[in-house]
Amino acid sequence: MKPREKLPWEIIWQHDGHVTDVVLTSMADGEEAIVPEVALDHVGGCDSCSRRLGDAALLSIRVDDHIVAAAAQARAARPRFPWAAVMVALTVAGLGMIPTLLRAPAWLAATSATLVQGLPLYVRSGALMARTLPQGLQGTLLVSSFVSAFVLTLTGYGIARAMTRSRSLQEGGTR
């Protein structure tokens, strides 16, 4: 471990022959190891510098107390995660899904005909991918892109059907 370097000579002494506030602050903060021995001896024998050292030590203690208090205040003021609100929101969302889940069988029956018509296309595409699919990561990326396209297509189709039904119901249709 490298020994600490001492404070440079030019920041130790004031023009009036007493030590600077840098020296006194270092001593008040318990960093006497960086203060040269000559400055330590001067503070020990000079009433003015000893008094200033006492003031610096009291200031250091007050600052430390304020820092501790501010840290405690910051910890207390930190907002906690709103678990109760999240649980209420999830419950409300779950209850809001009930009507949609009750309509799901009817929606599946209505869209099953469309899915059955599109099924040959998806089967042929899957078979073509299986025959031409190279080994390794490229194949995995290719499969994932086709699966993603399939899911997005189905999602778009479902949204389009739902919007069409919604519009027809708003316009007074029977569907």
- Tracing tokens 């031409």 back to the chain, one arrives at 132
pLDDT of residue 1: 34
Higher-pLDDT residue of 111, 26: 26
Give the tens place of pLDDT for each residue, 116-135.
777 888 888 877 766 666 55
pLDDT of residue 99: 86
Full-model pTM: 0.39
Q: Are 56 and 31 in contact (CB under 8 A)?
A: no
Query: What number is the average pLDDT over the span 21-32?
Result: 87
Angle, helices 47-77 vs 21-28, to 10°: value is 60
Report the chain's C-alpha Rg in angstroms: 39
Q: Residue 16 — φ and ψ, nearest 5°?
A: -90, 5
What contacts 129, CB < 8 A, 6 or more positions away? 142, 143, 146
Cβ burial of 36 (10 Å; 0-12, 13-18, 19+) is middle
Say how many C-beta atoms besides its own lie within 10 A of residue 31's C-beta: 13
Give the tens place of pLDDT for each residue, 30-59.
888 889 899 999 888 999 899 998 888 888
The one-letter amino acid code at 158 reads: G
Give the tens place of pLDDT for each residue, 71-101.
888 777 777 778 899 899 999 999 988 888 8
CA nearest neighbour of 83 among 75, 73, 91 = 91
